[in-house]
Structures are given as structure tokens and as C-alpha cells.
Amino acid sequence: MAEKDLAGRKALVTGSATGLGRSIALKLAERGADLIINCTRSLSEAEETVAECNKLGAQTQLVAADVSTEEGCRKLADAASGWGRLDILVNNAGITRHAQDHSDLDALTRQDFLDTYAVNVAGPFLLMQACKPLLEKAYEESGRASAVLNVSSIAGVTGIGSSVAYAATKGALNTMTLSLARALAPAIRINAVCPGFIGTRWFKDRLNSDQYERMEAGVAKATPLGVASGPDDIADSAVFFLTDASRHVTGETLLVDAGMHLGYAPLSAR
């Protein structure tokens, strides 16, 4: 049974219907936080996540909203305003455009870049903009800096990944983490987690079961720790940034990739 060290805290996790966002939300609920679960289209999965959070004792609400728009971010902030404050914000929602051959410059269009930036970079900024007063209010009431976590990627550090556009957005998100951590302290502390491979539907929806198993085995073989991470593995590290254990940490970018960055060859090159 997890310690209820986040009891009474209010959290918003974007893109939390499935995958890593869902795992982070469940771990926050287990530790006592109340939650806003967010999705754009995955309503049935989001409802399942809400139900699981409720079973863990959290007061949970579901808000369908597109974080790439000012309207969507305002909708999420308005939902959080019912609490009067926001202690935790996780910018997890993200998209990609798959073009794994980075030398094929014709594989991506201008619109691919704009769409990916809209969700992966503009989205976290717009949501921070909308939620800043609530995050500052939590600091005023508690004397404890509110915690923001940006879910980035190894792609933003090494330039590998599903596409050049995706890697570029995650690099931009890492830089924005530094800029805002400096600018918004001491009321708000902002960190980023950079996963490597995560076994989620991003891959599972594009591959049959045999292809996915081969891919997972290949990833495990390529990492120094010899494992292929799942959402819970990353979420355990991510939640550190949302608790008092990291109360003196801001502007940090943490690679959680089983050592992949130490020597990784793209899957297509093996």
C-alpha cells in the first residue's frame, strides 16, 4: 500500500487515458491526490482510468480537451479552478508523425511539423499559461512549490526517434523546461522526464504481435540494463518529480531509458 503523501493535493495529467499518462495518474491517485484525467478522443479508455483512480480513493473528473488549442487549455484550467488551486501539472499529451528514416526529408511535410509542435510544444506552454494562477495559488496556500512535469523523450536529447519532427519538438520542450523553471521559481518548479522505448499502443497499434515482440526483444538487447520499459517503469521515476522527495529539484531533465543513450543503434539499422 503506497504512502498517502500526496493526500489533499490536486493534479492534472494530460493525455492520461492510456499509456504513460494513465500510469502516472494511477500512481498519483494511489498516493492520495485528486485528479483531472484528460483525453482528446480516447473517451472509453479515459473513463476506465477515471474508474480506476476512483477505486484508489481519488476524487476524479474527466475533461476531454485538445491541449494544442487555447480553448482546450482554458477548459482544463477552468475544471481545475473548481479546486481553487493546482498542486501538480503533468504535460504528458504528445503526438508524432512516423518517419523513421531521418534521411528521407520528403517523408515529412510542413503541416506534419506544425501539427507535432502544436501538441508537443505549444500545448505545454498554453496549459502553463492557463494554469499559472492556480499553480501560484497552491504555493501561496502551502508554502510549497507547485510541481510541473514535462514528459519529453530521449529523442530530444539524442535526435533519434520516430521522426525528425518529433525529436525537434522534444528538444524544444527540454529547453522550455529550463526557461520556465528559471522564470517561474520559487512558486513553481518544473522538470522533465525523457523516456526511451515505452511499450505502449504507439507501437502496438502499428505492429502485429510477432513484430512487436521482436521489437521489444531488440530494444532489451540494445540497452545496457537489458530491459524494455513499460509505462509503470517510467511512471515510477516520473512521480519522484511530483512529490516532496524532489522539493529542491527544478530545471532537471532526467533520462529514463535503461541506459539506451549510452549506446543505441536505431532498430532499422540492426
Q: What is the pLDDT of residues 227-267, one digit of tens each?
A: 888 899 999 999 999 999 999 999 999 999 888 888 754 44
When pLDDT is averaged across residues 110-130 and rounded to a whole number, the result is 98
In b/e form, how buried is each residue of 52-89, taking b as 16+ CB within 10 angstroms? bbeebebebbbbbbbbbeeebbbbbbebbeebebbbbb
pLDDT of residue 40: 95
Structural domain includes residue 5: no
Q: Which three cell numbers stand for residue 5?
A: 503523501
Would you say residue 199 has pLDDT above 80? no
Would you say residue 81 has pLDDT above 80? yes
pLDDT of residue 23: 97
Would you say residue 194 has pLDDT above 50? yes
Which residues are designated catalytic?
166
Q: What is the mean pLDDT of the chain?
A: 92
Structural domain includes residue 187: yes
Query: Among 146, 162, 53, 143, which Cα is nearest to 97's?
Result: 162
Residue type present at position 37: I
Among the residue ranges 9-23, 84-98, 176-190, 223-237, the one predicted with the least confidence is 223-237
Whole-angstrom Cα distance, residue 128 to residue 220?
35
Contact criterion met (CB below 8 Å) for 101 and 268? yes
Which residue is associated with the grid cell 484525467?
A: 37
Would you say residue 189 has pLDDT above 80? yes
Structural domain includes residue 267: no
Whole-angstrom Cα distance, residue 242 to residue 88?
7
Structural domain includes residue 157: yes
Query: Among 181, 142, 5, 9, which Cα is nearest to 88's?
Result: 9
* Helix 19-30 × helix 43-55 angle, to 10°: 20
- Better-predicted residue by pLDDT, 213 or 95: 95
Q: What is the CATH number of the domain that holds 21?
A: 3.40.50.720
**Domain count of the fold of the chain:** 1
pLDDT of residue 123: 98
Whole-angstrom Cα distance, residue 270 to residue 119?
31
Structural domain includes residue 260: no
Would you say residue 92 has pLDDT above 70? yes
When pLDDT is averaged across residues 91-107 and rounded to a whole number, the result is 94
Q: Cβ–Cβ contacts within 10 Å for residue 27, how many?
A: 20
Structural domain includes residue 106: yes
Given pLDDT bands bounded at 50, 70 and 90, which one contains residue 203? low
Cis geometry, peptide bond prior to residue 186 (ω within 30 degrees of 0): yes
Sheet of strand 253-256: strand arrangement: 60-64, 34-39, 10-13, 88-91, 146-151, 188-195, 253-256
Query: ∠147-131-252 over CA atoms, to 5°?
Result: 30
Contact criterion met (CB below 8 Å) for 182 and 140? no
pTM: 0.92
Structural domain includes residue 248: yes
Structural domain includes residue 192: yes
The domain containing residue 43 runs over which residues? 10-199+231-255
Given pLDDT bands bounded at 50, 70 and 90, which one contains residue 29? very high
pLDDT of residue 269: 36
